[in-house]
């Protein structure tokens, strides 16, 4: 795929993912224009001041809740990466309607505006918490996934295609537990909710490159899931604060002991490739089922969860991953 003449828009473009995605686009792919769409003028100013001032960059103030603004912003856009969301679990629980307005209704606005503007490819970022959700954040992301997959049916004769990527926790992103552990270790004690807890982990760099690859390969209707390693939260705490005491404080409301990226029910329509899984649309009414020709079907009752993963990170490997995040934290540049 040739990115040189493409116009790319990123919703939530000032977030951790958005900044890394834009940086990679500018350094390696050189699209004609990259539009950073977000609602916070201060973050846009800080992003521009930190070096994101390339001639191909455009900064659009707007909220995905505003359908008219979304339609105007997507006019002339070829590729849209939908990364805007309310993602803090406690905040979504305490402000449920706000989570619904942004994560579900806002996603619907992106879809409608993309269809009307003739955007060729729209890829939405999802999360492991969308699988068998037990909190509102996960439920809104599951709803957004369903919207994106099924909205391919609305394309009709148009070229617009919608897909999703779904992956685990991003090491060092805003809201990540890593900055929390870095702060806590100064007191000599770090807190974990349960020492049996496991999580999928992916670096920001890996997440961005996976998204770019999926944009290049998507047919429409798929949910792409990368094969990524697991770690225990206790091992993460040991890696970040080896000298600190680990205190177990109990699982919080809406928190899982283990995360799931592919459920047993989804496995029936999922195919496995060398380094990822592709969850195909359940109904073969349109496109999105061609992956069966290049991947292998999963066995019955297959479940891709953080506690039954075949790839695990040791404490020393976690320390290598955390090292650049720690360096940024100490310099006051994290987030």
Report the DSSP pairing between strands 169-170 and 198-202.
parallel
CA dist list (Å): 236 to 206, 241, 260: 19, 8, 19
Report CA 294 to chain centroid distance, whole Å: 25
Q: How far apart are the first and last CA of the chain?
A: 31
- How far, in Å, CA of 99 to CA of 89, rounded? 10
129 carries an active-site annotation: yes
Q: Which residues lie below 8 Å from residue 85, measured CB to CB, with a gap of 6+?
A: 12, 102, 103, 106, 125, 140, 141, 144
Reading the block at residue 214, the tokens are: 């999926």
Among 129, 141, 238, 256, the active-site one is 129
The catalytic residue positions are: 129
């Amino acid at each position: 795929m040739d990115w040189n003449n493409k116009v790319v828009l990123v919703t939530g473009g000032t977030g951790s993912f958005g900044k890394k995605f834009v940086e990679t686009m500018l350094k390696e792919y050189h699209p004609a224009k990259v539009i950073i769409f977000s609602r916070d003028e201060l973050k846009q100013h800080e992003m521009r001041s930190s070096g994101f001032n390339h001639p191909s960059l455009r900064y659009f103030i707007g909220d995905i809740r505003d359908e008219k603004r979304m339609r105007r912003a997507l006019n002339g856009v070829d590729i849209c990466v939908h990364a805007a969301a309310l993602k803090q679990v406690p905040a979504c629980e305490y402000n449920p309607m706000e989570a619904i307005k942004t994560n579900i209704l806002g996603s619907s606005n992106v879809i409608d505006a993309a269809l009307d503007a003739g955007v060729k490819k729209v890829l939405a970022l999802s999360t492991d918490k969308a699988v068998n959700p037990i909190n509102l954040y996960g439920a809104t992301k599951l709803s957004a996934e369903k919207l994106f997959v099924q909205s391919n049916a609305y394309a009709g004769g148009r070229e617009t295609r919608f897909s999703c990527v779904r992956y685990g926790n991003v090491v060092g992103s805003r809201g990540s537990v890593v900055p929390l552990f870095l702060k806590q270790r100064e007191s000599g004690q770090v807190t974990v909710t349960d020492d049996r807890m496991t999580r999928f982990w992916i670096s920001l760099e890996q997440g961005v490159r996976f998204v770019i690859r999926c944009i290049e390969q998507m047919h429409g209707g798929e949910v792409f899931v990368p094969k990524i390693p697991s770690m225990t939260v206790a091992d993460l705490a040991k890696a970040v604060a080896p000298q600190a005491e680990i205190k177990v404080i109990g699982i919080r409301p809406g928190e899982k002991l283990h995360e799931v990226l592919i459920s047993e029910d989804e496995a029936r329509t999922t195919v496995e490739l060398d380094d990822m899984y592709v969850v195909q649309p359940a109904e073969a009414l349109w496109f999105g089922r061609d992956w069966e020709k290049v991947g292998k079907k999963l066995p019955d009752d297959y479940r891709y969860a953080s506690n039954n993963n075949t790839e695990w990170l040791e404490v020393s490997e976690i320390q290598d991953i955390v090292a650049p995040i720690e360096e940024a934290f100490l310099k006051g540049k994290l987030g």
